[in-house]
Amino acid sequence: MAEKNIAFEEFVGRVRQNQKYAQLTLSLVEQIAREELNNQKDWHSALKTTRTRLHRLTGAFLPPKINYAHLIDNLGLITKNNSDELQAFSKQAMRLHASTNERLPFLEHFFYICLESIGGVGSILDLACGLNPLAIPWMPLKENYSYLACDVVDPMVSFLNSFFSQTNQVGTAFVCNLFQEIPTQQVEVAYLLKLLPILDQIDPSISTRLLDELNADHVLISYPSKSLGGRSKGMKQTYSQHLQRITEGRNFHIQEFTFPNEIAYLLSR
């Protein structure tokens, strides 16, 4: 272990001095911090590598600070049952997260195309959801659907619960560190959208664990076909091989869907 010239609690506090990492659930920060204190020669190096890994997990996709209070205020301005106002708010808010922002140009088609073979979806579990629950107006859901969403960003989870309640969506958001606990609620569809390559950087076994432990009839997996910088060389082949590896021997029926900067696969048991 690195030389202990700093208390663990103080080290974690230094990591969380950065606003981006202060909003992450404490269990994730502590997990990465312990690993890097073990891996690095001193705590100064461990501090740098801890922040680098947390950035790759979440920081690259979020601005340093989202004004959730302002978003909640704007939610209150939406006229009850006004779908146009709700969609306008949702699209504007989704621009704040890189993953959902990239999907906006084809959002109206994405979920309907990917989930067409299922028909109306009755229940969804959205893992590491980001702001994706705001796309509910563009999903083919049954009238009496239920929506579960989890993420490691504490204030985002609180905002999503406000979104659900203020717009009368049947949903619940909760904090979840997937490296420590995989949700097992029974649902019709689980979303793993542009998630697996990120998780694999921390734990190469987690993709297969998710497929084995999720209690879902269908799993919608997607991969980016371009980087945040717009490069695409080799990404489709790399992620196609990744999907083949994690589904080998698991007897899924797999459908593939290609979009401008995203490739999606619907895995059905």
The angle, 0 to 180 degrees and rounded to 10, between the axes of the packed helices 235-247 and 206-213 is 50
Distance CA 113, CA 117 (A): 8
Residue 80 confidence (pLDDT): 85
Q: Residue 90: helix, strand or coil by DSSP?
A: helix
Residue 1 has a pLDDT of: 45
Task: Report whether 202 contacts 179 (CB < 8 A).
Answer: yes
Residue 225 has pLDDT above 80, yes or no: yes
What is the pLDDT, as a whole number, of residue 213? 96
pLDDT, mean of residues 189-198: 95
CATH of domain 68-268: 3.40.50.150
Whether pTM exceeds 0.85: yes
pLDDT higher than 70, residue 82:
yes
- Find residue 88's DSSP bridge partners: none
β 187-193/253-259 pair status = unpaired
154-165: pLDDT as tens digits: 999 999 999 999
pLDDT given for residue 87 in this prediction: 96
Please state, for a pLDDT cut of 90, what percent of the chain lies above it: 80
Amino acid code (one letter) for 127: L
Asked whether the predicted pLDDT for residue 230 surpasses 60, the reply is no
Show me where the domains of the chain are located.
8-59, 68-268
Confidence band of 2 (pLDDT split at 50, 70, 90):
very low
